């Protein structure tokens, strides 16, 4: 069985009287491509914030490759191989595309072992199809290209686990499909573990191999796409329709 890279044990996040994440367990292994879905307000992004160090959990434990990082700052998670994107791309608009990726490398990547076949920001840009834009200001490229660039910045930190938060938001149907194919290629060619939150449930279900479903902060299912769409709690949470369309498409 492949190595456990990240383990969440009974992780909860509470804001005053609101429980956003409620005792969620999750084990992520090397090479997995996992989707996280759930209705609006299910706690998906808050869970991402917890497992990347952005939001310390109120209770529970987070272990990265066996090291307890519960309550540690984001740069400690990055130094241990966890990288993420955000719902709204966080790029430096006045810096070149290449320098944005270089920043990611300097943030946490210096001295880290690169994923297989990855040695420079040029190779990252080529993988993402941004090499022709290397000298353009990041603020001058399209929103879909900025989403790819943010992935490039995350890759620059030399991650083993890449957390993607709604990277298909606002993209056309063709762009969403292209993004999904690129994500799978990143996993395959650079031997990453990829965890992907997405509202485009149909696309996600076609490309991931395992799905974690959150509803009202709790994990209600964890299995293959085929298993998940037949789960009674998931059908109730989603009314079934979008999930069925996603797996049949």
Residue 157 above 60 pLDDT? Answer: yes
Residue 95 above 80 pLDDT? Answer: yes
pLDDT at residue 119, as a whole number: 60
pLDDT at residue 248, as a whole number: 46
Residue 111 above 60 pLDDT? Answer: no
Whole-number Å distance between alpha carbons of 106 and 127: 19
Where do the H-state alpha helices sit in 60-96? Answer: 74-79
Domains and CATH numbers, the chain: 4-81+160-248 (3.40.50.300), 89-158 (no CATH)
pLDDT at residue 249, as a whole number: 43
Q: What is the DSSP string of 105-172?
A: IIIIITTPPPPTT--SHHHHHHHHT-GGGTTSBGGGS-HHHHHHHHHHHHHTT--SEEEEESTTTT--
pLDDT at residue 160, as a whole number: 92
Average pLDDT over residues 203-219: 93
């Amino acid at each position: 069985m492949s190595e456990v890279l990240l383990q969440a044990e009974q992780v909860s996040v509470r804001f005053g009287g609101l429980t956003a994440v409620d005792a969620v367990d999750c084990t992520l292994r090397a090479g997995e491509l996992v989707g996280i879905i759930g209705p609006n307000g299910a706690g998906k992004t808050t869970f991402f914030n917890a497992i990347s160090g952005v939001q310390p959990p109120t209770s529970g434990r987070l272990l990265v490759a066996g090291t307890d990082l519960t309550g540690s700052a984001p740069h400690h998670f990055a130094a241990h191989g966890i990288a993420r994107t955000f719902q709204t791309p966080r790029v430096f608009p006045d810096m070149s595309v290449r320098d944005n990726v270089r920043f990611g490398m300097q943030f946490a990547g210096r001295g880290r072992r690169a994923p297989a076949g990855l040695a420079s920001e040029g190779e990252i840009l080529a993988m993402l199809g941004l090499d022709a834009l290397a000298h353009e200001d990041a603020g001058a490229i399209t929103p879909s290209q900025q989403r790819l660039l943010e992935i490039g910045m995350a890759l620059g930190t030399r991650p083993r686990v890449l957390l993607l938060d709604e990277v298909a938001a606002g993209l056309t149907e063709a762009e969403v499909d292209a993004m999904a194919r690129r994500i799978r290629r990143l996993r395959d060619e650079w031997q990453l573990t990829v965890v992907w939150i997405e509202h485009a449930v149909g696309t996600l279900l076609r490309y991931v191999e395992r799905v974690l479903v959150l509803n009202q902060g709790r994990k209600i299912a964890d299995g293959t796409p085929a298993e998940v769409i037949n789960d009674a709690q998931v059908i109730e949470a989603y009314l079934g329709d979008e999930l069925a369309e996603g797996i049949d498409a």
